[in-house]
Amino acid sequence: MEDARDKKELNQILKDTLKNNQDHYKKGELANYIPALTKVDPKAVGISMVDTKGKFYATGEYKKRFTIQSVSKPLTLMLAIMDNGIDSVFDKVGVEPTGDPFNSIIKLTGFAKPYNPMINAGAIAVTSMIKGNDKEDKFSRIIGFFRKLAKNDGLELNQEVYFSEKETGDRNRSLAYYMRDQEIITGNIEEIVDLYFKQCSIEVNCTDIANMAAVLANQGVDPVTKERIIPRKIARIVRTLMTTCGMYDKSGNFAIEVGLAAKSGVGGGIMAEVPERFGIGVYGPALDDKGNSIVGMKVLKELSQKLNLSIF
């Protein structure tokens, strides 16, 4: 379908969609529980789209960099599964939605393992499974994997956000210590949460996350280089978890309104994939009460309607 639609027309659709939705930022808040994340312009919005033939469409502040935050969770999950196998990972982390906020501790106390890898508890457990000789090696494997998916060797850590997370991340530390007590994770907790904070503080832009999503949309194969980066089965599992849990306790509503596998982050990014068609990256740092970009969700809803993107 996209082949028939010329580039100019699709770029115009993106432009109009951004314009129609950019004012929704007024209803949101910046992620003030990580102080460094409040030093951004709440009005900034951008969209990048890459199709599975490698064609690129974009508008607004799509080059503006922001920290990846929880958009990193499905990516690290794929690496952890490739490192350890499907069964080992899901022996420790569940695959069910929680209906609770992303940083909730409530269900950890009544259930032997974190409900899913998209919430903080599950993501920290996943990060603890990344293989490497030492903490530096583990981080360099994570960032190396993100660079490959984004086709951008320039991805780097945002030191200020990383230190800000480290300073204020006691909820995440609590989740991790509790999980070690429950024998879900093993090892040095300070090192594990540090690796998780670093993974969340990697800077990307809309195009980086659109490129990452395009690999998922293309079932694990890079649409441009044709290299298989992720086994098809692992890509399918992770796309499924993004669909059921990627927008936390808004995932059901998002499935109805947008109908795509997606993952949000409190840096303001949302990565979404349209099977066999598109990778999409949207940015808007003002968040709703669930921690999802308000403008990002509105933009995806309108694009889904205009381009008939819902998988349902």
Active site residues per annotation = 70, 73, 196, 248, 266
289/286 Cα distance (integer angstroms) = 10
Which residue, judged by CB position, is nearest to ligand DON in the bound state? Answer: 70
The two tokens of residue 59 are 């508008």
135-150 helix and 189-200 helix, angle to the nearest 10 degrees: 20
Provide the minimum distance between the beta carbon of 51 and ligand DON in the complex, in angstroms, as a whole number: 26
Q: Which is nearer to ligand DON, 119 or 307 (CB)?
A: 119
198/132 Cα distance (integer angstroms) = 15
78/72 Cα distance (integer angstroms) = 10
Phi, psi of 264 (to 5 degrees): -100, 165
Provide the minimum distance between the beta carbon of 197 and ligand DON in the complex, in angstroms, as a whole number: 7
Q: How many CB atoms lie within 10 A of CB 290?
A: 16
Q: Which is nearer to ligand DON, 94 or 246 (CB)?
A: 246
Provide the minimum distance between the beta carbon of 292 and ligand DON in the complex, in angstroms, as a whole number: 6
Q: Which is nearer to ligand DON, 60 or 265 (CB)?
A: 265
300/306 Cα distance (integer angstroms) = 10
- Can you give the binding site for ligand DON, defined by CB under 6 A? 69-70, 102-103, 120, 165, 172, 200, 264-266, 291-292
> CA torsion sign, 274 to 56 to 39 to 70?
positive
The two tokens of residue 128 are 């603890």
What is the H or E stretch that residue 274 is in?
strand 269-274
Q: Which is nearer to ligand DON, 89 or 262 (CB)?
A: 262
Within its chain, how far is the Cα of 286 from the centroid?
16
Q: Which is nearer to ligand DON, 81 or 123 (CB)?
A: 123
Provide the minimum distance between the beta carbon of 3 and ligand DON in the complex, in angstroms, as a whole number: 34
Provide the minimum distance between the beta carbon of 242 and ligand DON in the complex, in angstroms, as a whole number: 12
